[in-house]
Amino acid sequence: MPATLFRFPSHSYLTISSSLNPKPPQTPKHTPSSNPTIANNPEFSLSLKQPLSQSDAAVKMPTAPWMNGPLLLPPHELLDLSKPNSKKNLNNARVEKSDKALTEKIGVRGERAVNKIVRSIEKLRMNEDSDETQKDSGKFGFGDCLEQLGEDDGSRYGRKMPWERDVGFALRRMKKEKAVTEAELKLDKALLERLRGEAARMRRWVKVKKAGVTQGVVDEIRTIWRRNELAMLKFDIPLCKNLDRAREIVEIKTGGLVVWSQKDTLVVYRGCSYQPTSKNILKTRARLAGSQAAPYYETGLPKWERNYEISLPNSNENGVDEKMCRSESEGANLPPGISSKGDLNYQPVSGSLYVRETERLLDGLGPRYLDWWMDKPLPVDADLLPEVVPGYRPPFRLCPPRARAKLTNDELTYLRKLAHPLPTHFVLGKNRKLQGLSASILKLWEKSLIVKISLKWGVPNMNNEEVALELKHLTGGVLLLRNKFLIILYRGKDFLPHRVANLIAERETELKKYQLHEEGARVKAIEAVCMDNGSTENTSSSGTLSESKYIQTEFSDLEIGNTEVDIKLEAEKQRLERELREQERKLFILNIKIDKSTKKLSKLTGGWAPTEMDADREMITEEERECFQKIGLKMDRCLELGRRGVFDGVIEGLHQHWKYREVVKVITKQRLFQQVVYTAKFLEAESGGVLVSVKKLKEGHAIILYRGKNYRRPLKRVPENLLTKREALHKSLEMQRIGSLKFFAYQRQQAIMDLKCKLEDLQQSKSIYQRD
């Protein structure tokens, strides 16, 4: 059997065997010679001349332009395209199934797409003569073909291809750039890495509580710095939520550098030139105290002087660390936005527009709160404002014409939404003596409609309700929001700025002057007319100023004491009568409610027909009673009665217990023993059992019932003469309502009787006084 060896461009060898046997194999009926596409290919001339004898011999098939290697298929997988596939052959079932697996998902739409791909490839081949196509012919790919096909199809049919997607324009959220800390700017990289490694191994820290970085915390840090160059701080709320602000506060108050931070923890480095001397500590305290106590009404910013003395390092420290440290400038420890120049009014323009506008708004209101736990701008510290302002009084208010000073619900909601993004203006940590804060609020209201006041954390005995009431009384504003963190005040519709209020007061003074002038002119005109006519008898002074003065002078010497007593008695009588009418009205309303509840209760009890006690009851001996009582008290399972009392479900539960045991224990939480006995007898009558005993337990009263010797389960376990569960609940509610209404009605009756007695006593005292 000779064999032919073919070598393909992919450096793989394929052996195709041929046979002289004229009989071809009978298994594959579709031979390659029947396919005209394969027969016209010269590469398969040798394989077609000689028939294949082995079923595993491979045949080279034509490939697409984008395929790199040859396509080799066994003979039984070749398709005979000359014969129609109208009839199915059982022998080719597997072949057809494999073909369907490749083409069944394409459909009509897929065939159109393949035809379009072939046409676009032919067009590209026809345009290969152009220069650009010749240059880019080596870079031709299937993606370019699909792109051109998509363009042609979109222009031809006006729609997109299935694989095309709508790419929308989306803005990606940019990551926040990490701000460079002061330690990274001043310390060398090697020293910083060493300090951070030591900081990560530290296990002892100073707890910073809600009050913030107080002087006690600063003293503890300096105590740690005497024996160690690093100090760890662990922050409580609110500073733990904003470690950047906590870092600024710690660096300002201690003069150190924060070299490591994680979650709610900071590690502070004391510096290379730090020397623990009491002189430096006292100077730092004096500077901080002086900056807090200085007057801030002329300037909105504190005067900062942070020129720390640089001394030689300790002998215990390494010389390498001394060389690595960089020299610190005089203004390095100043907070951003505060200048170290001599002029306190100088403030560089820094920060965002929001921060700059807020700083300009808060200028001149008072000292800033350096321990502020949120982002800048820093609010005003209201505790440092004066407690008493001489001559302070609430501002003059005047509502515009045709306007109401009271806010509607919609206006209140709008103002609360408007106040949400506003910055905090003041920080407060006390309850009383807020005249200085009120003066600053009135000054701020001339520029802003709303004032936000934040309450300090960790201040003992802080009462936001008391603070809100006092501020509302001192300023006359409208309270928008009050909680344990924030107080928001609106200046009101009737608020007038200081200048406008002064102008209105001047106009009122001028108006009074003009009225007095008119009154004087009128009096002079009347006197002149009287002198000309010669008769003064017909002139009238009614309604004039002279008449009122005459009445005051003439009748002022009457019995002033007696009239005052009569007026007081009459006022007291009117007050008692008014209160008596109010109590009678309330009693009338209560009686109406009692009648209504009584009607509802009568409707509910109308469908309730309790069973009468059977005269021929089963008797048990004392020994049996004691035995059943002990058995019932020892039982773990019981039946509890709630507020609904006895209804049809309770009787059903009794019979369900008696199905498995002779004795049942019922627990009721009624307080009166008479009610408990009534409930026990009622259960005995409705269930048909025998009442054993009633005992007082820790959970309540236990009612023990015995089913009897001749017990038979009833045909209907749910009795029809009792209330349902829902009706029993309504009945309990109505009874409770009637009881409470009768109690309040009794109180009103007592109050009416007391008022009538007071009126009688007042009438007697008035008659006695008139006699005297």
pTM over 0.85: no
Report, as an integer, the average pLDDT of 111-137. 69
Q: Is 702 exposed, middle or buried (0-12, 13-18, 19+ CB in 10 A)?
A: buried
Whether 712 and 686 share a structural domain: yes
Counted domains in the chain = 5
Please give the pLDDT value at position 712: 86
Of 471, 496, 521, which residue constitutes the final position of a domain?
496
Determine the Cα–Cα distance for residues 364 and 380; give it in Å rounded to an integer: 10
Distances in whole angstroms, Cα of residue 102 to Cα of each of 72, 110, 117, 165, 412: 17, 12, 18, 25, 69
Please give the pLDDT value at position 340: 36
Whether 193 and 335 share a structural domain: yes
**Which residue bears the tokens 């627990």?**
667
- Could you tell me the pLDDT band of residue 741, with boundaries at 50, 70 and 90? very high
Residue 265: which of 244, 242, 235, 241 has the closest Cα?
A: 235
Is the residue at 98 inside a domain?
Answer: no
Please give the pLDDT value at position 180: 83
- Could you tell me the pLDDT band of residue 81, with boundaries at 50, 70 and 90? low
| pLDDT tens figures, 194-205 | 888 998 888 888
β partners of residue 6: 14
Please give the pLDDT value at position 83: 54
641's CB contacts (< 8 A; 6+ apart) are 650, 666, 667, 668, 669, 670, 679
Portion of the chain with pLDDT greater than 90, in percent: 23
SS3 271: coil
Is the residue at 107 inside a domain?
Answer: no
**Which residue bears the tokens 């729609």?**
159
Q: Which two tokens stand for residue 445?
A: 């209201």
- Could you tell me the pLDDT band of residue 84, with boundaries at 50, 70 and 90? low
Q: Per-residue pLDDT for 500 more than 70?
A: yes
472 vs 280, higher pLDDT: 472
- Could you tell me the pLDDT band of residue 376, with boundaries at 50, 70 and 90? confident
Consecutive H or E run containing 764: helix 725-771
Whether 394 and 249 share a structural domain: no
Whether 314 and 227 share a structural domain: yes
Is the residue at 566 inside a domain?
Answer: no
Of 340, 374, 404, which residue constitutes the final position of a domain?
340
φ/ψ region of 719 (left if φ > 0, alpha if ψ in -120 to 50, else beta) reads beta
Please give the pLDDT value at position 267: 92
Report, as an integer, the average pLDDT of 425-451. 91
Whether 71 and 144 share a structural domain: no
Please give the pLDDT value at position 152: 52
Whether 617 and 683 share a structural domain: yes
Determine the Cα–Cα distance for residues 133 and 148; give it in Å rounded to an integer: 14
Distances in whole angstroms, Cα of residue 457 to Cα of each of 368, 374, 430, 460, 627: 17, 12, 11, 9, 67
Distances in whole angstroms, Cα of residue 65 to Cα of each of 68, 140, 149, 748: 8, 10, 16, 105
120's CB contacts (< 8 A; 6+ apart) are 145, 148, 149, 152
pLDDT-wise least confident of 125-134, 235-244, 342-351, 369-378 = 342-351
Q: Per-residue pLDDT for 101 more than 80?
A: no
Angle among Cα 566, 569, 574 to the nearest 5 degrees reads: 120
- Domain carrying residue 490: 358-496
Is the residue at 565 inside a domain?
Answer: no
Give the DSSP letter string of 525-564. HHHHHHHHHS--SS---TTSHHHHHHHHHHSTTS-HHHHH
Whether 48 and 18 share a structural domain: yes
565 vs 10, higher pLDDT: 565
Determine the Cα–Cα distance for residues 160 and 561; give it in Å rounded to an integer: 104
Q: Per-residue pLDDT for 213 more than 70?
A: yes
Consecutive H or E run containing 507: helix 498-533
Please give the pLDDT value at position 67: 77
Please give the pLDDT value at position 304: 33
Is the residue at 729 inside a domain?
Answer: no
Please give the pLDDT value at position 454: 92
In 10 A of CB 432, how many CB atoms?
A: 9
| Residue 239 DSSP code | G
Residue 148, CB-side half-sphere exposure with 13 Å CA sphere: 14
Residue 77 near residue 99 (C-beta atoms within 8 A)? no
Average pLDDT over the chain, rounded to whole? 75
- Maximum pairwise Cα distance, the chain: 170
Report, as an integer, the average pLDDT of 262-281. 77
Whether 227 and 325 share a structural domain: yes
Whether 485 and 364 share a structural domain: yes
Is the residue at 90 inside a domain?
Answer: no
Expressed in percent and rounded to 5, the helix, strand and coil fractions of the chain are: 45, 10, 40
Residue 53: which of 79, 72, 75, 73 has the closest Cα?
A: 75
Report, as an integer, the average pLDDT of 349-368. 83
Report, as an integer, the average pLDDT of 210-225. 89
| pLDDT tens figures, 287-339 | 544 444 333 333 333 333 333 232 323 333 333 344 334 333 333 343 443 33
Of 466, 496, 526, which residue constitutes the final position of a domain?
496
Determine the Cα–Cα distance for residues 680 and 580; give it in Å rounded to an integer: 47
- Any idea what the CATH number is for the domain that residue 617 is in? 3.30.110.60
Q: Where are the beta strands (DSSP E) in 676-732?
A: 690-696, 701-706
Determine the Cα–Cα distance for residues 386 and 436; give it in Å rounded to an integer: 5
Residue 193: which of 97, 269, 93, 98 has the closest Cα?
A: 269
Is the residue at 288 inside a domain?
Answer: yes
Angle among Cα 211, 383, 348 to the nearest 5 degrees reads: 90
Whether 57 and 190 share a structural domain: no
Residue 654: which of 690, 619, 624, 629 has the closest Cα?
A: 690
Angle among Cα 569, 570, 571 to the nearest 5 degrees reads: 90
Is the residue at 96 inside a domain?
Answer: no
Whether 389 and 462 share a structural domain: yes
Peptide bond just before 238 cis, omega within 30 deg? yes
Please give the pLDDT value at position 322: 40
Q: Per-residue pLDDT for 286 more than 70?
A: no
Residue 2 near residue 46 (C-beta atoms within 8 A)? no
β partners of residue 235: 208
Residue 513, CB-side half-sphere exposure with 13 Å CA sphere: 6
β-pairing, 3-7 with 13-17?
A: antiparallel
Whether 196 and 301 share a structural domain: yes
Determine the Cα–Cα distance for residues 159 and 376; give it in Å rounded to an integer: 54
What one-letter code names the amino acid at 228?
N
Distances in whole angstroms, Cα of residue 478 to Cα of each of 432, 444, 487, 545: 19, 15, 11, 41
433's CB contacts (< 8 A; 6+ apart) are 387, 388
Please give the pLDDT value at position 21: 40
Q: Which two tokens stand for residue 754?
A: 């007391």
Report, as an integer, the average pLDDT of 168-179. 66
Q: Per-residue pLDDT for 187 more than 80?
A: yes
